[in-house]
């Protein structure tokens, strides 16, 4: 059995500061971009969430059943136990309002613009979902094509937070450094994200998109 304490390498009586410190170290080691794997990364996140949900008496709620964290087997906890908060904005809105991706007030402006639910809003993504899967599973129709990191049809612009890119066969380093990511296989690393989706319309991505196909949402 793999308990949250085992995953983070802390004692059963570890306090909040010890857990936080251990998590910061382990999540970097487990990150797919630094030699870890998505499975290990998700396991570390589940461990941290389980221990973070301990009540004032030091007992994990793990939902509402009051289970002691030492008795939780994380290898059987497929649901992850926590969600990532994603604030999103459709790139097409920027042209309509004359906004820029580089505008520091972009999301504040969007929140006051009376936009439609599909154009601007918030959604929750589970730890084992890619950003695209999270959007689809909550009823949003974001664009995509290959789903394998080989085109930029599903590209997003990362305004805030971290989005892992375990497999990237198409996005040049220069664009990645500017904040462009693929939502089809991008997994949230931070607990909160702000992203502009539908950026495939940008001129610099023209050569990286695929034409419409049977599995494409354009």
CATH at residue 61: 1.10.287
Parent domain of 97: 84-208
The pLDDT, as a whole number, for residue 119 is 97
Does residue 120 sit in the same domain as residue 162? yes
For the ranges 36-40, 82-86, 129-133, the maximum mean pLDDT occurs at 129-133
Q: State how far the Cα of 218 lies from the Cα of 41, in Å rounded to an integer.
A: 31
To 10 degrees, what angle do helices 16-30 and 38-52 make?
Answer: 170
Using the predicted structure, report yes or no on whether residue 65 has a pLDDT greater than 50. Answer: no
Last residue of a domain, one of 55, 76, 97: 76
Does residue 8 sit in the same domain as residue 24? yes
Using the predicted structure, report yes or no on whether residue 73 has a pLDDT greater than 80. Answer: no
Does residue 97 sit in the same domain as residue 26? no
For the ranges 14-28, 51-65, 113-127, the maximum mean pLDDT occurs at 113-127
Last residue of a domain, one of 50, 76, 102: 76
* Residue 183 · residue 130 · CB < 8 Å: yes
Using the predicted structure, report yes or no on whether residue 72 has a pLDDT greater than 50. Answer: no
Using the predicted structure, report yes or no on whether residue 168 has a pLDDT greater than 50. Answer: yes
Tell whether the torsion through CA atoms of 35, 39, 45 and 47 is positive or negative: negative
As a whole-number percent, the residues of the chain with pLDDT over 90 amount to 42
Does residue 137 sit in the same domain as residue 190? yes
Nearest to 91 by CA among 184, 199, 180: 199
Does residue 57 sit in the same domain as residue 110? no
Using the predicted structure, report yes or no on whether residue 61 has a pLDDT greater than 50. Answer: no
The pLDDT, as a whole number, for residue 70 is 46
Does residue 56 sit in the same domain as residue 117? no
Whether residue 215 is contained in a domain is answered as: no
Mean pLDDT of 44-68: 57
Does residue 153 sit in the same domain as residue 201? yes
The pLDDT, as a whole number, for residue 35 is 78
The pLDDT, as a whole number, for residue 197 is 98
The pLDDT, as a whole number, for residue 183 is 95
Confidence of residue 68 (pLDDT cuts 50, 70, 90): very low
Whether residue 153 is contained in a domain is answered as: yes
Does residue 88 sit in the same domain as residue 72? no
Place of tokens 């789903």: 147
**Whole-structure pTM value:** 0.67
Using the predicted structure, report yes or no on whether residue 149 has a pLDDT greater than 60. Answer: yes
Mean pLDDT of 151-162: 95
Q: Strands 163-164 and 155-160, how do they pair?
A: unpaired
Whether residue 214 is contained in a domain is answered as: no
The pLDDT, as a whole number, for residue 54 is 60
The whole-chain average pLDDT of the chain stands at: 81
Count of domains forming the chain: 2
Higher model confidence: residue 83 or residue 214?
83
């Amino acid at each position: 059995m793999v308990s949250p304490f085992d995953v983070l390498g802390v004692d059963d009586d570890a306090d909040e500061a010890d857990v936080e410190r251990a998590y910061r170290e382990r999540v970097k080691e487990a990150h797919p971009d630094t030699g870890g794997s998505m499975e290990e990364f998700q396991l570390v996140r589940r461990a941290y969430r389980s221990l973070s949900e301990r009540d004032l008496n030091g007992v994990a709620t793990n939902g509402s059943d009051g289970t002691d964290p030492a008795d939780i087997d994380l290898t059987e906890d497929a649901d992850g136990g926590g969600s990532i908060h994603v604030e999103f904005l459709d790139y097409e809105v920027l042209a309509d309002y004359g906004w820029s991706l580089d505008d520091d007030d972009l999301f504040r402006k969007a929140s006051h613009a009376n936009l439609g639910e599909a154009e601007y809003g918030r959604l929750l993504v589970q730890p084992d979902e890619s950003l695209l899967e999270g959007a689809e599973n909550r009823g949003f129709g974001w664009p995509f094509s290959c789903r394998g990191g080989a085109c930029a049809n599903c590209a997003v612009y990362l305004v805030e937070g971290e989005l892992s890119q375990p497999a990237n066969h198409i996005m040049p380093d220069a664009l990645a450094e500017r904040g462009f990511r693929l939502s089809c296989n991008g997994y949230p690393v931070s607990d909160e994200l702000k992203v502009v989706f539908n950026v495939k319309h940008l001129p610099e991505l023209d050569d990286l998109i695929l034409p419409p196909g049977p599995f494409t949402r354009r």
